[in-house]
Structure 1
Amino acid sequence: MSDKESPHSDTTLKNPDNVVEDAVIIESDPDAKAAPKKVKTGGLWLFSIVNFLLIIGICAAAAWTGYQWQQNQTNDSDIGAKIEAELLSMDSSIAKIDASVAKYDAELVSINEGLSEQNQVLNKNMDSLLQQILQNVDENQVLKSRIADLSGRRPADWLLAEADYLVRIAGRKLWLENDVSTAMLMLQAADSRLEDIGDPSLFPVRKLIAEDIQALHQINPVSINSVALALSGMIPQVNNLPLNALKIPEIEDNKAENELSESISDWRVNISKTWNSLVDDFIQIETSDKPVLPYLSTKQRWLITEQLKLALSQSKSAALDEQETLYLNALQQATALLVEHFQLDDNNVKQFADALQQLQNTDIAKDYPRQLQSADALKDIIDQRVKSVFKNNTDTGAL
């Protein structure tokens, strides 16, 4: 090659900042033809576009970062204001809590003072109680010894006391309620209690109980309640009993005799019958052999039935009270009313009269014993045992 530089021998491009972007050197081939070649610029453009996009991205990121920083600054200012307000409210709450705590501290101080005073009183009471307990120790020991002495006799004493109680209840049933059967059951139960004790010294008491039971068997066994119920059932039947009221005898009908015949030859007889019928209309005389009963008005009938009911009620009350005289008088009065004012030939009246007569023949009188012999005997035995127990206790206390 010649010393002269060809226009295509060497090419250099520089950017505005004096940095070489790219250089393309094209050398000529000595063996080739001296024809000029084109320069390739595609990579340069691609590099420029990438750099431009990077610059735009960096600017956008810087702008977004600035915006976010500004938003964070505003949020931090709002949060700080809220925190300051909450701190102020907490300060006021803390002040209130401090005031209440101070109040409670004062109350606790007063309570502690009261508790201290109560503790002092309790300590004094405890001291006095301890002294009393120490004083009662000896008495408890004495009581234990007495209980040990009485432990062997306790079952027998309980059975004896139960037998005494049963005998007393038998007396109350007999004299207050007139209940003979229950009184006998009570006496039998008392005898079984004494039998369970197995003490031969109680045989005389059991003998007295047997005599009391036998005396109750001798009492009239008629049930007063049955008599009273029978009278109660008779009272409603009074309304069905017929009274002796006025009965007009039946008059025989003589119309058949006064009938006129149709025969002309009987004109005399027909005139006589006509005359008799005219006279009978003015004056009529009839004869009867049956007795004429007295007439009773409605008030009188009601009065008679109520008198009979009253007599039956009085007999019922007298039977329940076991008043024999009043019972018989009331029944006799009822019988007299029945005979005087009611039809005795009626079947209902006859049955009613028979029932009254049967009640009159019923003996309701009962002779109760004035006292039970076993009651006093049991009382004496219990008194003796109680006295012996107290005597033994006083002797042990003296020792």
Structure 2
Amino acid sequence: MDNEKPEVERNMSAESDLPQPETEVISPAPATERTPKANSSLALRLVVLITFVIAVLACVGSGYLYWQLQLQSQQTSSMATSMQQALQAPENELRQLAQQLQQSQQASANQQTTIEALLQSDQQLQSKIATLAQRHPNHWLAAEAEYLVRIAGRKLWLEKDPQTAVGLLQAADERIAAMQEPSLVPLRKALAQDIANVQDIKTVDIAGTVFTLDGIIGKLDKMPLHQLGQHEQTADENSQQMSDSVSDWKSNLAKTWKALTEDFFTIRKINTDITPLLSPKQEWYLEENIRNKLLQAQLALYQYNALNYRQSITMARKWIQQYYDLEDEHTQEVLQALQALVNLTLDPINVQQFQCSAQLKQLVTYGKLVPATEAEQ
């Protein structure tokens, strides 16, 4: 082996001694340096990409989480609203029930008050019934007499009917006389005085007078109006007729001359009051005004107002005399009726109250007549 080794070394040395061709030497050192840089750049890019991806995923995840949180928040708020509404509905029902209960309590209190008032009035009624049961049976006659006196007052002061009031007072006196109680003599004296006072009032047939005025109102459309100059024209026509006698030639000549001149102008002498003729419209107004005055007279009769009654009749009569034909029979009848009615006297009712009213009240309340001091207590 040692022999082979020198031989190899000799070959190598021989080859080294031979001239070598010139070749471009490429240094391997740069190649070794470029490979790590490329690897590091790729790794950096990979890291950046991974980081970007992670960031995008993080953003998407955070957005998704935010969206989920918003959905949960909306669901929570809607659930809270629904729960609040669900809780508010029973609260409103409870409030309504409380109000209804309060109203029921108030109604119960009012009913209780009404029941107590009814019980109290019932007790008072029972006591009055017991008192009336202990009284004399003639007490009912006294109550009826008091009622008749009250009706008499209504007839006298509201309806202005003294005749009916006198009849009612006499009927009340009959009820008191039927009781046959000597202690009621003062009451009968008071009733007699009231009857005399009402009888002193001059009574007027109000209903008959009103019917008479209605008849006059019905005749207004039958009366003709006064025609101005009608009688004068008739007299002139009679005076213009010619005579057949020859001795009256002068008067006939004068009448002929007058007839000729009247074709040109006419002169008339009127001694009566000049009143213009009325148109149909004015005639209607005149008739309505007269009717209104007669209706006012009827109202004054019911009110016992003598002044208004007399003024209304006088004005209606004046208009009829001024505008209607006084020779017509309907006009004469109406004027005669108005003349009779204008003299009607209406006395005022001076009786202000009945003297027997206070004593009748005592008789009904206490069952007997009591002194004034005891009645006031």
TM-score by length of 1: 0.49
CA contact (8 A) 2:324 2:331 kept: yes
CA contact (8 A) 1:228 1:320 kept: no
| 1:157 and 2:155 are equivalent in the alignment | no
User: Which residue, 199, 202, 206 being the options, matches 1:220?
Assistant: 202
CA–CA distance in structure 2, aligned partners of residues 230 and 319 of structure 1: 12
Task: Tell me which residue corresponds to 2:339.
Answer: 357
CA–CA distance in structure 2, aligned partners of residues 188 and 282 of structure 1: 79
| 1:381 and 2:367 are equivalent in the alignment | no
Task: Tell me which residue corresponds to 1:296.
Answer: 277
| 1:167 and 2:149 are equivalent in the alignment | yes
Which AA in structure 2 matches 1:153?
Answer: R
CA–CA distance in structure 1, aligned partners of residues 347 and 264 of structure 2: 62
1:330 Cα deviation after fit: 0.7
CA contact (8 A) 1:245 1:296 kept: yes
Which AA in structure 2 matches 1:321?
Answer: Q
| 1:341 and 2:318 are equivalent in the alignment | no
Q: Secondary structure at the match of 1:339?
A: helix
The 5-angstrom pairing of residues 73-84 of structure 1 reads none
Task: Tell me which residue corresponds to 1:77.
Answer: none
Deviations, residues 77-110 of structure 1 (Å, cap 9, x unaligned): xxxxxxxxxxxxxxxxxxxxxxxxxxxxxxxxxx
| 1:311 and 2:293 are equivalent in the alignment | yes
1:283 Cα deviation after fit: 4.1
| 1:239 and 2:221 are equivalent in the alignment | yes
The 5-angstrom pairing of residues 1-399 of structure 1 reads 151=133, 153-247=135-229, 249-250=233-234, 251=237, 280=260, 283-285=263-265, 288=268, 291=271, 294-298=275-279, 299-385=281-367
- Structure number with higher helix proportion: 2
Q: Alignment identity in percent?
A: 31
Question: How many residues end up aligned between the 2 structures?
Answer: 229
Structure 1 unaligned blocks of 5 or more: 1-142, 258-272, 389-399
1:349 Cα deviation after fit: 2.4
1:286 Cα deviation after fit: 5.0
Q: Secondary structure at the match of 1:155?
A: coil
Distance 1:153 1:384, change over 3 A: closer
C-alpha root-mean-square deviation of aligned residues, in Å? 3.7
Compare CA radii of gyration and give the structure with the larger one.
1
CA–CA distance in structure 1, aligned partners of residues 282 and 132 of structure 2: 79
Which AA in structure 2 matches 1:311?
Answer: K
Task: Tell me which residue corresponds to 2:247.
Answer: none
CA contact (8 A) 1:312 1:334 kept: yes
Distance 1:185 1:294, change over 3 A: closer
Distance 1:387 1:182, change over 3 A: closer
Q: Secondary structure at the match of 2:137?
A: helix
Deviations, residues 294-340 of structure 1 (Å, cap 9, x unaligned): 44142232222222222212112221222211111111111221222
TM-score by length of 2: 0.52
CA contact (8 A) 2:300 2:306 kept: yes
CA–CA distance in structure 1, aligned partners of residues 154 and 220 of structure 2: 39
Q: Secondary structure at the match of 2:138?
A: helix
1:280 Cα deviation after fit: 3.9
1:281 Cα deviation after fit: 9.2
CA contact (8 A) 1:220 1:367 kept: no
Distance 1:368 1:284, change over 3 A: same
The answer to which structure, 1 or 2, has the higher relative contact order (CA under 8 A, 6+ apart) is 2
